[in-house]
Amino acid sequence: MRKGGSQTLRQTFLAAAGIHTLWPQGAGAYDAIKQVAKLGLTLTLFLIGAGLSRDALRTVGLRPMLQGVLLWIAVSVTSLVAVQYAFP
């Protein structure tokens, strides 16, 4: 983390905790923000695990990346269906 980054993170966390405490009527918005944050964290961890960077994604291009994602979804769904029918 860059120098001073932990202080900024700490301040951001404290501000978010304060806002959540002082304005509880925003719970719906807070839940939406939390879901977006979880999705972003999941995507980031996937990219780290796959060894992909922004430059690598730019080099590959949209079409091959989309084909890879669609293939991954097809294999996942097929595997899930096979497991559910093989082990009822």
Predicted TM-score of the model (pTM): 0.53
Q: How many domains does the chain have?
A: 1
Two structure tokens written together for 73: 């979804």
Q: What is the pLDDT of residues 29-75, one digit of tens each?
A: 888 988 999 999 998 898 888 888 888 888 888 898 889 889 989 99
Rg (CA), the chain: 20
In a domain, 20, yes or no: no
In a domain, 52, yes or no: yes
What number of CA atoms fall less than 13 Å from residue 80's CA on the CB side? Answer: 6
In a domain, 76, yes or no: yes
Q: Which domain holds residue 61?
A: 25-86
In a domain, 79, yes or no: yes
In a domain, 65, yes or no: yes
In a domain, 82, yes or no: yes
DSSP string, 64-78: HHHHHHHHHHHHHHH
In a domain, 67, yes or no: yes
In a domain, 14, yes or no: no
